[in-house]
Amino acid sequence: MRVMPAAPKNGDARDQADRRIFRETRALEGSARWRMATDDAELGSAAMLKHFSCSLGIELTPQQAPRLVAMLQKATRDGAQAMLKAKDVYQRQRPYWVDEGPICRPRDELGKSFDYPSGHTTAGWTWGMALAQVAPERATSILARGRSIGDSRIVCGVHNNSAVEAARLLTSATMALVMVTPAYQADLAGARSELAQLRSQPHAEPQPQRCEEEARLIAP
């Protein structure tokens, strides 16, 4: 809470920027990026492995990579604790509660959860940071995909831009502490070994056409 900036206040410059971005991005409804944002809302382990398959260069299931998934799940829980505390403190409204506009997920799916910071961004950026350590030779593409999961929440209209930026900062701060612990380092070594073994065996690779489209959609 001392590292992450406070949530914007109604009417201040950051709040006005958030509202403008929400209104402008409603024009993406029905686009390929909108469909990607809808898919990115799925956060189960199988879905997340699918999200990162192009950047990793391998299609995996949780059953194939239990050590990798266990490491990622534990790291995500650490990030989620910090994120949930901040949500309770700031209780900022989601953008579609303030301005009218379509969103890419059913509103009842989101319930009454708050905006700041974004939980999906926390999960996406945690996986990105951890996977970049598991496969450092692919770090750039992995981190770009992790970033795009947060961007998808803005495209989707369910989080403000400030909530996504705050979640990335809070997650980075949390992971900076998690990553130096002996438990994490042991999990990381196990995940690296497991992935190397999977790569050395016959394995499924993501479809090139899908990966090309994904790269186009998430390009800066």
Look up residue 9 and give its DSSP letter: -
Torsion of CA 106, 110, 115, 119, to 10 degrees: -110
User: Which secondary-structure segment (H or E) carries 116?
Assistant: none
Prior bond of 117 cis (ω within 30°): yes
> What are 30's two structure tokens?
């029905």
What mean pLDDT, rounded, does the chain reach?
96
Please say whether the beta carbons of 57 and 207 come within 8 A.
no
Gap between the Cα atoms of 164 and 156, Å rounded = 12
The per-residue pLDDT for 108 is 84
Residue 217 has pLDDT above 90, yes or no: yes
Q: And the tokens for 56?
A: 């990793």
- Look at residues 18, 214, 8, 14 and name the one whose alpha carbon lies nearest to residue 101: 18
Model confidence at 86, in pLDDT bands (50, 70, 90)?
A: very high
Name the pLDDT band for 200 (thresholds 50, 70, 90).
very high
Distance CA 3, CA 5 (A): 6
pLDDT of residue 112: 86
* Per-residue pLDDT tens over the stretch 109-126: 888 899 999 999 999 999
Residue 118: enclosing H or E segment and its boundaries?
none
Whole-model pTM: value is 0.96
Residue matched to tokens 């701060």 = 173
Rounded CA separation 86/113 (Å): 12
Confidence band for 18, pLDDT divided at 50, 70 and 90: very high
pLDDT surpassing 90 at residue 175: yes
Cα 68 to its chain centre, rounded Å, is 17
Ramachandran quadrant class, 91 (left: phi over 0; alpha: psi -120 to 50; beta: rest): left
Lowest average pLDDT, out of 64-68, 91-95, 103-107, 147-151, goes to 103-107
DSSP label at residue 27: G
State the Cα torsion 54-58-62-65 to the nearest 10°: -140
Question: What is each CA distance from 192 to 46, 54, 59, 128, 188, in whole angstroms?
Answer: 19, 18, 16, 15, 6
- What integer pLDDT is reported at residue 39 of this predicted model? 97
pLDDT single digits (tens) 19-37: 999 999 999 999 999 999 9
pLDDT at 1 over 90: no
